[in-house]
Amino acid sequence: MANVLIAENVQTVGKATSAAWSRLKASIGTAVRTQLLSGVPAILEVHVHSGTQGRSDAALYTVVQELLDKQVNKSIANHGGKISIVEILRGKLFIVMSGGCQGCASSQVTLRQGFEVMLKRVAPEIEEIVDTTHHAVGKQPFFPRQEVPL
């Protein structure tokens, strides 16, 4: 198993291309149960204190970029994807999805049920995410990972 991303009631599991799902079932179940029983948060959480609602766009940019770097992009990189900030402007986060996310049928699930749920925890000031990605571009937007010879 390469990684597990847990956000609210959504879990995303990534695996190496060579691994068979049928052989991973038991270890995935064990990993998820162990995590849930540990009581340790499975995702990056920032506790919002009163007074944070007035953070500047620049401060929000830093918080959102940290979430992308430490949690989100590590997971979706296994599919060749990436989410990047275009800008943050008065409560709106403008993003672009690239690589495997561009044109992927699951990109909106990743965005709305994964990233957006996590974003609300660290930056509740963001009221809207605007996806500026042109998902129709390209004949094969999913780019497989290059295997590195050992």
- pLDDT tens-place string over residues 126-145: 999 999 988 877 545 554 55
Question: Is residue 66 classed as helix, strand or coil in its secondary structure?
Answer: helix
Residues 105-132 have a mean pLDDT of: 89
Dist. CA 75–CA 106, nearest whole Å: 14
Q: What is the pLDDT of residue 3?
A: 61
Contact 97, 59 (CB under 8 A): no
H or E element that contains 21: helix 21-38
Bridge partners of 77, per DSSP, are none
Q: By percentage, how much of the chain surpasses pLDDT 90?
A: 24
Dist. CA 116–CA 114, nearest whole Å: 6
Walk me through the domains of the chain, giving residue ranges and CATH numbers.
3-131 (3.30.300.130)
User: What's the whole-model pTM score?
Assistant: 0.61
